[in-house]
Structure 1
Amino acid sequence: MRLVQVLIPEGTSESVLGALDEQGIDYAVFQEVGRGDFEAMVQFPVPPSGVETVLDSLTEAGIQEDAYTIVLAPETVVSQRLSALVERFPGLRISREELYARAQDLAPANSTFFAFLILSTIIATTGLLLDSAATIIGAMVVAPLMGPAISASVGTILDDANMTRRGVVLQVTGLIAAILTAAIMGWILQATILIPPELDILAIPQVAERTSPNFLSLFLALGSGLAGSISIMRGSGSTLVGVAIAVALVPPAATSGLGLAFGLPGIAFTAAVLVLVNLLAINLSALLLFYLAGFKPLEASKFEGVRSSLYSRLVVIAVGIAILSIVLAGVTFTTFQTKSLEVNVQNELNQRFEEANLEGVELLSVTVDYEISDVILGNEPEVNILIAVPRNQEIPPDLAQRWDDEITEAIGRDVVVRVGFVEAQLSEREEPNPPIDWPSLASRPGADVRYAGHLTG
């Protein structure tokens, strides 16, 4: 429920109260004893979905923008007459006036915005380097990116060019600042003992996760934008939804900065693409939802202009997403290729090894080295096979080549096969000892590991 207070300008009391009577609104009128520009104040309750309708009728009755209209959200309203109002104004959407006020509140002052964003980036970068999902989520609570994303869309829908411009500028400059902050932090940390020398950031799962963006990333961004818009329109959970929006933007921005700091332009580029795609998707979903919810400018004469501006903006954003989606499509396709090939090779070797029924020989591991960069560059997959054999077991000298030919025929493409052997001791006791961890044994100093060549099919 909302409590609306309106100062009635001189000479308009009759028309204003008549408009409220037509809407079936219960009201109270108080005499105004101020400077003389107003003759009374009227106060009335109305459901949130009815505020916009009632204020439109009051505007037609003579309440202009130079008057004072205050909309309050009371804690509790006790009355049996409320059910009639709720039936008259069904729905959960707030008024455009309240939406505009909330959008203004969400976009903080520039100094506050950049202070929180930089601190959030520092925390997120630390979480990435520590491979700590909890730290990254904690950083998202601090990030203030929901405000600019929502205010840019609200400004477009309500024809406030200044709000739109400020929202867009804060988003773009904020994310650039996040990338630079992470890059500077990465450069500084490399000169300290806080991270190991020659650290491979691609080996950190939280970093690697954001260097291979695919189409699934769009669902996070679109869902975050829709959730943010719904939370603002219905006044619930906006803080938690802001975390989801920040998750889509700050961690990949920090990853892009780390790519710059560690001299890995590929990481910097792919993470930056993920940031930009998510940014566009969040704005696209917010714009669409506010438009479909029926928000319009206060002045009806501006509606056509806003609609044409909205359509053009939606087209620009959609084209931008489509262009950047080429990168997402490439990553999605190559990721599918690498994983499918790895599964096919492992299944093929496991099946052939079981069919061979080699007594005393154990297949320890099968791994496939085939990255996205290998797909792009046309490199052949490397298949690494490790088996355990008894000391006196005869090993075919061309085993690697045999498996190379069989795998090539089975999957229909050339591979490189590398076979490693670990000498195994087999007990003659009837009750076997616990199984030996062969991969760990092979990695111990002094382990006897032999390789059957590095052959190309």
Structure 2
Amino acid sequence: MRYLEVTVPEGNRRAVLDILEDEGIDYVVGDETSDRAYDAVVRFPVPTRAVEPILDRLKRAGIGDESTVVVIDAETVVSERFATLREQYRTGGQTGSRTSRQVLRTKADELTPPVPVYATMLLISAVVATAGLLADSPAVVIGAMVIAPLLGPALAANVGIVTGDDRLRRTGFRYQLTGVTLVIVASIGLATLARFAGLEPAGVDIVVATELQERVAPNVFSLAVALGAGIAGILSLTRGFSEAIVGVMIAAALIPPAAAVGITVAWGMYGAALGAAILVVVNVLSINLAALGTLWIAGYRPQGLFEVSPTRRPTAVYATIFAVGLLVLAAPLAGVTVLEFQTTQLESAAESEAEAVLADPAYDDRTLEDVAVELDDDYPIQSVDRVVVTVAGPDAEPEPGLADDLAAAIEPPGEERLPIEVQYVVSERRGLENP
């Protein structure tokens, strides 16, 4: 339930009261005694679902942006007329218990913190995320997501689009761009210090050794996190779910990939940095597209027939930009997904062929330990580099003819045959031999 207080401009008192009477609303009218051009102050309780349609009717009656409208949460209302009104909006044409458009703008604005606070929290988040990635610590990376204030900007931009609030839209997009840039720059600085301070061992592939692998070579399933975050963010704003939990989800789609860009740039791995940057941009587009679509489907837009059309055009323009950009940039992600599928197939086929070769009586003392398909370092779109077959036996000496037999048996897809590398390990003794 909500309690509204509305200042009525001169000449609009009768029109406003007629609307409230028509809706069956109990109200209290007080004369406005200031020197401003107001005639009265009207106060009345309404069900939550009724806030938006009633304010829309009042706006058409002359309650414009120059008037003051205060919406307050009400604990309870004891009134027969209010009970009838609540039942009317419960069973009438209203769908769902959503937040009114007017309150939605306020909530989106409130979730966007002041610039100093926003920058400080993002710097802390960037430092924690970079440290977590370098230390290969999922728990630390999750901690970075919890403190990142990215929910407000992501939602504010799209609330501004569908409701025609240009200030809110510009603020949301500006905060998103500034936030991601700030995380990348801070990560570059911290990762550079870590590299030259020798905090990471030399000669080690930083991508393989840390949590960076999935961020520098992302697949299409990475989109699920960002799309889900955009939808959940809007639902949290409009349906009263926990914004804190959804904020972590949005941060999960943006903070680690942005930190990965900084780390790989500091290590001079520009191909890997490109892969992480693509993931960042794709996730930003996905979050905004999902949020924008969810808002429009939920019916959030300016009131009145004459305001829907002008707002529908910019909404369609932004949705098209998000969708086209997403399709173009998702191509590398699709390539990575196809490669992963092919790699899995190749690994399975190579394992079967290797088992068949080692089943030969000539290799009775050898058993298959592992088959791995290794990729090259050409990020973000890698290719298969070689197949490594690990064989266990009584000693680590190469078995004559085994490498040739394995190379002949394993036929990877493609015109060129891939190198087959055989590694020998000593098998563990499982008991004493009989004398």
TM-score, length basis structure 2: 0.89
- The answer to whether the 8 A contact 2:163-2:301 is kept is yes
Three-state SS of the structure 2 residue aligned to 1:329 is: helix
Partner of 1:436: none
CA deviations 1:384-438 (Å, max 9, x no partner) are 33220379xx9862221012111228999623233344566784339xxxxxxxx
Give the whole-Å Cα distance in 1 for the aligned partners of 2:230 and 2:426: 58
Give the whole-Å Cα distance in 2 for the aligned partners of 1:237 and 1:390: 60
Is it true that 1:49 corresponds to 2:54 in the alignment? no
**Aligned amino acid, residue 18 of structure 1:** D
| 1:191 CA displacement | 2.5
| 1:40 CA displacement | 3.4
Match for 2:137 among 95, 118, 132?
132
- The answer to whether the 8 A contact 1:231-1:237 is kept is yes
Partner of 1:254: 259
| 1:283 CA displacement | 0.6
Partner of 2:93: none
Three-state SS of the structure 2 residue aligned to 1:65 is: coil
Give the whole-Å Cα distance in 2 for the aligned partners of 1:12 and 1:187: 65
Three-state SS of the structure 1 residue aligned to 2:411 is: helix
Give the whole-Å Cα distance in 2 for the aligned partners of 1:353 and 1:214: 35
Taking the TM superposition and a 5 Å limit, the aligned residue runs for 1:292-303 are: 292-298=297-303, 300-303=305-308
Match for 1:429 among 422, 429, 434?
434
| 1:83 CA displacement | 4.8
Partner of 1:450: none
Give the whole-Å Cα distance in 1 for the aligned partners of 2:412 and 2:251: 48
Q: Structure 2: where are the runs of 5+ without partners? A: 91-95
Give the whole-Å Cα distance in 2 for the aligned partners of 1:60 and 1:376: 56
| 1:285 CA displacement | 0.8
Taking the TM superposition and a 5 Å limit, the aligned residue runs for 1:72-91 are: 72-74=72-74, 76-77=75-76, 79=78, 81=80, 83-90=83-90, 91=96
TM-score, length basis structure 1: 0.85
Number of aligned residue pairs: give it: 427
Give the superposed CA RMSD: 2.8
Three-state SS of the structure 2 residue aligned to 1:408 is: coil
Q: 1:390 to 1:277 in 2, by over 3 A?
A: closer
Partner of 2:403: 400
Partner of 1:8: 8
Is it true that 1:20 corresponds to 2:20 in the alignment? yes
Is it true that 1:66 corresponds to 2:66 in the alignment? yes
Three-state SS of the structure 1 residue aligned to 2:157 is: helix
CA deviations 1:202-246 (Å, max 9, x no partner) are 123421121121111111111100000111112321121111111
Three-state SS of the structure 1 residue aligned to 2:241 is: coil
**Aligned amino acid, residue 107 of structure 1:** T
**Aligned amino acid, residue 21 of structure 2:** D
Give the whole-Å Cα distance in 1 for the aligned partners of 2:30 and 2:384: 82
Give the whole-Å Cα distance in 2 for the aligned partners of 1:31 and 1:390: 99
Give the whole-Å Cα distance in 2 for the aligned partners of 1:356 and 1:370: 33
Q: 1:132 to 1:236 in 2, by over 3 A?
A: same
Structure whose alpha-carbon radius of gyration is higher: 1
Match for 1:148 among 153, 171, 178?
153
Give the whole-Å Cα distance in 2 for the aligned partners of 1:409 and 1:292: 48
Partner of 1:324: 329
Three-state SS of the structure 2 residue aligned to 1:215 is: coil
- The answer to whether the 8 A contact 1:151-1:163 is kept is yes
| 1:199 CA displacement | 4.6
Partner of 1:280: 285
Q: 1:301 to 1:364 in 2, by over 3 A?
A: closer
Q: Structure 1: where are the runs of 5+ without partners? A: 431-457
Taking the TM superposition and a 5 Å limit, the aligned residue runs for 1:159-170 are: 159-170=164-175
